[in-house]
Chains A and B, each alone.
Chain A
Amino acid sequence: MNKILFSAVSKKFVMALAGLFLLVFLPVHLGINLMLIKSDPEPFNTAAHFMATFPLVKVVEIVLFLAILVHIIYGIILQIQNWRSRPVRYAVRNKSETSAFSRFVIWTGGAVLIFLVIHFFNFYFIKLGIVEGDPENFYSVAYQLFAIRGYVILYWVCFLILGFHLYHSLQSAFQTLGWSNEFWKPVIRVISLIYAILIPAGFAAIPLIIQFFK
Chain B
Amino acid sequence: MKLRLKIWRQKNAKTKGAFASYDLDGVSSDMSFLEMLDLLNSRLVSEGKEPVAFDHDCREGICGSCGMYINGYPHGPVPGLTTCHLSMRYFRDGETITIEPWRARPFPVIKDLIVDRSAMDKIQVAGGFISVTAGAAPEANNNLVRKHSSDLAFDSAICIGCGACVAACKNASAMLFVSARVSQYALLPQGRPEAKERVRAMVEEMDRQGFGNCSNTGACEAQCPKQIKLFNIARLNREYYRSY
Contacts and interface: CB of A to CB of B under 8 A. Distances in A.
**CB-based closest 4 A-B pairs:** A178-B238, A85-B212, A82-B171, A95-B72
B172 A85 contact: yes
Interface in B221-239: 222-223, 229-231, 233-238
9 contacts: A8-B173, A13-B241, A81-B171, A84-B212, A86-B171, A87-B105, A94-B73, A105-B215, A177-B237
B111 to A, nearest CB: 15
B69 A92 contact: yes
A58 interface: no
Interface stretch (A35-43, A96-104, A121-129): A96-104
A98 B219 contact: yes
Interface string B157-185: 00000000000101111010000000000
B103 A12 contact: no
A171 B73 CA distance: 25
Interface residues of A, number: 44
Between B98, B106, B168, B237, the greatest number of chain A beta carbons within 10 A of the residue's beta carbon is seen for B237
Contacts of A168: 216
B149 interface: no
Given A7-B207, A102-B218, A103-B170, A78 B237 contact: no
A185 B229 CA distance: 11
B237 A82 contact: no
Interface in A152-202: 168, 171-172, 174-182, 185
A9 B238 CA distance: 10
Between A9, A93, A99, the greatest number of chain B beta carbons within 10 A of the residue's beta carbon is seen for A9
Interface string A75-117: 0001001101111111111111111001101000000000000
B105 A86 contact: yes
Given A82-B171, A85-B171, A182-B229, A92 B100 contact: yes
A79 to B, nearest CB: 9
B216 A9 contact: no
Interface of B: 8, 19, 69, 71-74, 77, 98, 100, 103-106, 168, 170-173, 175, 200, 203-204, 206-207, 210-219, 222-223, 229-231, 233-238, 240-241, 244
A214 interface: no
Contacts of A81: 171, 212-213
A178 B231 CA distance: 8
B77 to A, nearest CB: 7
Contacts of B207: 3, 7-8
Contacts of A62: none
Nearest to B101: A88
Contacts, number: 138
Nearest to B236: A9
Nearest to B17: A88
Contacts of A171: 216
Contacts of B8: 91
Contact of A180 (B74, B106, B231): B231
A178 B241 contact: yes
A95 B238 CA distance: 30
Contacts of A8: 173, 175, 203, 206-207, 211, 213-214
A90 B171 CA distance: 13
A172 B170 contact: no
A50 B193 CA distance: 53
A96 B203 contact: no
A82 to B, nearest CB: 4
B237 A96 contact: no
A185 B219 CA distance: 16
Contact of A84 (B98, B103, B105, B170): B105
A11 interface: yes
